[in-house]
Amino acid sequence: MLGREREYLQIEKVHNLAALPGPTGFKVAAFPIKIEGASGAWCRCVAILDN
């Protein structure tokens, strides 16, 4: 099972993906809200376009 051998982040409910140039050509940065004792929280996702 994924997650047992290698840690990962799961980001859901991302909007405005149609505004991206395609499946490549950008990087994603996620800025999560830290909540003490929580295993998950919301975040602000930002696409950084390659020029």
Q: How far apart are CA 51 and CA 21, in angstroms?
A: 11
Give pLDDT tens digits for 2-51.
667 877 778 889 999 999 999 999 999 999 898 999 888 889 999 999 87
Answer whether 47's CB lies under 8 Å from 22's CB. no
DSSP 36: T
Rounded to two decimals, the pTM is 0.63
The radius of gyration computed from the CA coordinates of the chain, to the nearest angstrom, equals 14
